[in-house]
Amino acid sequence: MKKISILALHLGYGGIEKAVVSLANILSERYEVEIACCYKMYEKECFTLNDKVKVRYLMGDLKPNKKEFLELVKSHKFIGAFKEGLKSFKILSLKKRNMINYIKNCDSKYVIATRDVFFDWLGEYGKSDTIKIGWEHAHYHGNMKYADNIVRCSKKLDYLVLVSNNLKKYYYEELRGNKCRCLYIPNVIDNIPDEVASLKSNRLVSVGRLSPEKGFLDLVKIYKKLNTTVPLDIIGDGSEREKIETYIKNENIKGITLHGFRDKEYIDKILNKSSVYLMTSYTESFGIVLIEAMSHGVSPVAFDDAEGAREIISSGRNGYLIKNRNFDAYVKKVNDLLNDYSLRKRLGKEARNDSKNYTSDIIKYKWFDIIEGKYEKKKK
C-alpha cells in the first residue's frame, strides 16, 4: 500500500487544519496516511480523524509561546519576557530541526507540505525519489513578497496544489519552465446535510477565526448599521476577540452572541437555524465554512475582496458580493434577504446546489490522480 505523509503545523482549530483532516480521511480510503505535526495544541484533535490515520507529534509537549511573551511585554515584566523570548527561539529552532529530520528520514513515497516553509524544507531535504507536493491555502492578496516566496519555495517540488483557480493561473505563469506543476484542487466539505435550513425565522451567522484579516470588527459595525433585532451568532475565537467584545460593550450593541470555538456538530445546528451567512474577510483563498453554510441552503453575503468568495458566489444567483467594502451596500443586501423569504429561498436553493461541487465524492479523485501518477503520464 502506498504511504503518504502530510506535514502540518498543528491540528487545532483553523481552516488549514480542517482541510488537512479532511484530506487525510479521504486519502486513508486507499492509502496509508501519516500526519507529521509540529505542535500538539490540544489533548484531542479538533476535527474528527479516521482511525486509520496516524498522527506523529514532533515537538512533544512544547507549544508556541507567543501569547505568554506578549502578555509579559504588555505587563512590563521584561525579565520574564526575555526568558520567554529565549524559550521561543528554542522552540522555533527545534521545530525546524525536527521537521527536517522527519523529512530526511520519511519513508513515504508522497509527501504533502501545508506551509511555505515546509515547501522549502521538503524541496531541499526530501529524498530524490519522493514525490513532493506543496499545498497552498493562502492568497497573496497583493503581497508580492509573499507570492515570490511561494514561487521560490516551490521550484524544487513536483506539484503545487492551489485551492483557488485564480491562484493556479497565477503560479502557473510564475513557475513556467520549472519542474513544479500547478494544479487546482478546491478544499472539500465533509457532506451535504440531509436537513435544509427552513429560512422562515431570521437569524444571521458568521464563522471563522477572530483575527484582523477576517474582518469581524467590520462585521460588528455592519450589524450596528443594520439597526435590527435579528440575532447574530459569531462562532470562532482569536486575537481580536477582546477588541470585538470591547466595541460591542462600548457601543451598547444588543443581539450578538460570541460562541467561541465550537465543533462541527454545534456549527451545523446553528447554520440550520440561520437565514443569512455573513462574511467580511479582507482575504480568503477558499472559504470552507462559506460552502458549508451554502450546503444548508443559507445564502451568503460577502465582500468581493475575499478572492475565494468571488469563485464561489455568483452575485444575485446564490448570494451577494459587495464591491469596494461598501458597508451601506452590504447592509442593503442583508436587509433585502431578511425582508424577503422567497428571495432567501431562491438564493438558498442555488447555494445548496452549488455546494455539491465541493463534496469529497467529487474532489477526492483529483488527489487520487496525483497519487496514481496520472499527471506524470500526461507529462510524458
Provide the pLDDT confidence category of residue 139 given band limits of 50, 70 and 90. Answer: confident
3-class secondary-structure state, position 145: helix
Give 319's Cβ-side CA count (13 Å radius).
32
Same domain assignment for residues 262 and 351: yes
| 224 falls within a domain | yes
| 367 falls within a domain | yes
Q: What is the DSSP string of 155-173?
A: TT-SEEEESSHHHHHHHHH
CA-based nearest residue to 204, from 185, 177, 172, 231: 231
Q: Which of 263-267, 268-272, 341-345 has the lowest mean pLDDT?
A: 263-267
Same domain assignment for residues 112 and 143: yes
Provide the pLDDT confidence category of residue 380 given band limits of 50, 70 and 90. Answer: very low
Same domain assignment for residues 75 and 18: yes
pLDDT at position 142 = 82
Q: The pTM is what?
A: 0.86
Which tens digit of pLDDT belongs to each residue from 274-313?
999 999 999 887 788 999 999 999 999 999 988 889 999 9
Look up residue 124 and give its amino acid.
Answer: E
Overall average pLDDT of the 364-373 stretch: 93
Same domain assignment for residues 291 and 373: no
Q: Where are the alpha helices (DSSP H) in 227-306?
A: 241-250, 264-272, 288-295
Provide the pLDDT confidence category of residue 25 given band limits of 50, 70 and 90. Answer: very high
Domain range enclosing 212 = 204-358
Same domain assignment for residues 32 and 165: yes
Look up residue 100 and give its amino acid.
Answer: I
Q: What is the spatial distance between Cα 11 and Cα 17, in angstroms, rounded to a whole number?
A: 5
CA 102 vs CA 5, 8, 35, 118, 308: distances in Å = 10, 12, 11, 11, 33
- All three cell numbers of 321, joined, read 458580493
Same domain assignment for residues 224 and 238: yes
Residue identified by cell 524559550 is 87
Q: What are phi and psi of 106, to 5 degrees?
A: -65, 135
> How many independent structural domains does the chain possess?
2
Vertex 54, ends 361 and 139: CA angle to 5°? 55
